[in-house]
Structure 1
Amino acid sequence: MTSVKGKAPNRRTVKARETRTRMLDAARQLFVERGYGATTLADVAEAAGVAVQTIYFTFGNKRSLFKEMVDVTIAGDDEPVATMDRDWFRAGIDAPTAPEHLLAHVAGSARVLERVAPIVRTVEQAAGSDPEISGLWPDADPRYTVQSTAARSLMAKPGARPGVSAADAADVLYSILSPELYLLFVRDRGWSPERFEGWAVSTLRAQLCAEN
């Protein structure tokens, strides 16, 4: 990654980032395998090959580490770029027609679902054991916010299905592109991620796009 001024990061910066990534990877693995409550920062430090003080210095506490792990898993990297500012989301927003928007949106959402699906139960269990976990994300349901924004844009474009409101479209996107449904098909029923993506495109096109 280059800096704001376009200069390559120095060796110390690169090493710090690699260490941060290693800690997040270790945290993800342990939180999924053992659960949030049973995982200590000492466990994460040992798995990452760092001192526990490094965990505290970098993330502050266990809740902050957990939030960062979830956010990085959703984004796919640790760049400070919100979901709706990501290239895949903007590609849909910038698409000229509803079918093109839908294709780009499902493709991007499918990549997110592949990353997020393994931690869904971990997040639910963590929120159940620690009430403050849910408060780490100020938006009550950030996933719905993303789908609602996409729906308003999509349904205002040529090729959108007449009579379908943006609110209804948001509900459909939110349901079809949910981690729960993804897990049902891919994990429980053995579908490939590619098959799920194709099914999601055809199903959403039938619901949200005008008939040709």
Structure 2
Amino acid sequence: MPRDVNARPYRSPKRAEQAAATRSAVLRSARDLFLSEGYAATTVGAVAARAQVAVDTVYATVGRKPELLREVVEASLSGTDHAVPAQQREYVRRVREAPTAREKVAIYAHAVAQIQDRLGPVYLALREAAVTDADCRALWQTISSRRAANMRDFVADLRETGELRTDLADDEMADLVWSMNGPEYWALLVHERGWSAERFGDRLADTWTRALLAGDPRDVTA
């Protein structure tokens, strides 16, 4: 009997669910080990054992150790088990839809506060691994550059409201936001000074509002 070339391949919902559960277990195990043991000391075998799967399953599901770390970072950023482009993230859509620069800044600042709770520890582990591992260094540089580009887009969106200062270049404003939305700033205030995520988000929004928006800086409510 001739094969129907137009027929769609059969996809089992149960099999897809199992594959997603396996991937989630692998990423969760990799994250736990990267944070507790460090990148250098973590092996693919240890990740497999913790996830209760075969080593070949780790390779097939995610990849080698550098890919594991990349996917852990992306999952921590998106809050899912896969990378989500910036423009498709829910908080980015809310920022774009907000009518004023102050609202956009507040939405983004509080999103950063929530994201860093899951991303910050992983990002700092990546930075430490980047000192001695070339793959990690390349990943760190890639993500850092991507963050910088995203902040230029953020400032461009703010600029369209007509509410930004005119005495600072957009690139300088983007660099300012970039420097404060990273894990280092969050770790200093939340981990070392004991700030809550809510307080961190409030103060971040207040600082960016005062630094970026035109007008009397005293006329600001947190």
Structure 1 length normalisation: TM-score?
0.88
Residue 9 (structure 1) shift: 7.1
Instruction: Tell me the C-alpha RMSD between the 2 structures.
Output: 2.0
CA contact (8 A) 2:31 2:72 kept: yes
Residue 106 (structure 1) shift: 1.2
Residue 172 (structure 1) shift: 1.8
Name the amino acid aligned to 1:24: L
Aligned to 1:188: 192
**In structure 2, distance between residues paired with 1:101 and 1:80:** 23
What SS does structure 1 have at the residue aligned with 2:135?
A: coil
Q: Which runs of 5+ in 1 are unaligned?
A: 1-7
Name the amino acid aligned to 1:82: P
**In structure 1, distance between residues paired with 2:63 and 2:71:** 11
Count of residues in Structure 1 that have an aligned counterpart in Structure 2: 205
In structure 2, the CA distance between the partners of 1:9 and 1:199, relative to structure 1 (3 Å rule), is farther
Residue 160 (structure 1) shift: 2.4
Residue 138 (structure 1) shift: 4.5
In structure 2, the CA distance between the partners of 1:9 and 1:165, relative to structure 1 (3 Å rule), is farther
Tell me which of 186, 198, 205 is aligned to 2:202: 198
Residue 140 (structure 1) shift: 5.6
- Give the number of the structure whose alpha-carbon radius of gyration is greater: 2
Tell me which of 78, 83, 90 is aligned to 2:81: 78
Residue 93 (structure 1) shift: 2.1
**In structure 2, distance between residues paired with 1:205 and 1:199:** 10
Name the amino acid aligned to 1:33: S
Q: Which runs of 5+ in 2 are unaligned?
A: 1-10
Tell me which of 103, 107, 127 is aligned to 2:110: 107
Q: For residues 37-116 of structure 1, what are the structure 2 equivalents within 5 Å?
A: 37-116=40-119
Tell me which of 21, 30, 34 is aligned to 1:18: 21
What SS does structure 2 have at the residue aligned with 1:81?
A: coil
Structure 2 length normalisation: TM-score?
0.85
Aligned to 1:210: 214
CA contact (8 A) 2:110 2:202 kept: no
